[in-house]
Amino acid sequence: MTMCGTSARQMSNSFFLSASDQVLIAARLFVADFLQQLVMMLIYSRSIRRDFQGFFSMMALIFDLLVLFLCVVLIATVISLKVMHVSHEAAGGEEEEELELYINEYGSFGPSFVTLWMGLFGEGYPENMIPQYMGNSLILFFFIPYMLIGKFILEPIPVALLEHSYKHSRSHNMVVDRLVEKEALFACFVCMHTHK
User: What span, in angstroms and rounded, lies between the C-alpha atoms of 82 and 91?
Assistant: 16
Is the bond into 126 cis (omega within 30 degrees of 0)? yes
In the prediction, which pLDDT does 19 show? 74
Q: Same structural domain for residues 166 and 145? A: no
Closest to 129 (Cα-Cα) out of 95, 155, 96, 98: 98
Q: Same structural domain for residues 77 and 123? A: yes
Which H or E run includes 64? helix 59-83
Identify the domain containing residue 175 by its residue range: 159-194
- The verdict on residue 94 lying in a domain is yes
The count of other CB atoms within 10 Å of the CB of residue 176 is 11
Q: Same structural domain for residues 143 and 163? A: no
- The verdict on residue 23 lying in a domain is no
- The verdict on residue 109 lying in a domain is yes
Q: Same structural domain for residues 135 and 175? A: no
The count of other CB atoms within 10 Å of the CB of residue 25 is 11
Find out whether 155 and 121 touch, Cβ atoms under 8 Å. yes
Q: Same structural domain for residues 147 and 163? A: no
Mean pLDDT by 10 residues, the chain (196 residues): 48 60 84 86 76 81 88 88 60 53 65 82 72 70 83 84 84 82 84 73
In the prediction, which pLDDT does 106 show? 66
* DSSP state string for 87-133: -HHHHTTS-HHHHHHHHHHHSSHHHHHHHHHHHHTTTTTTTTTHHHH
pTM over 0.85: no
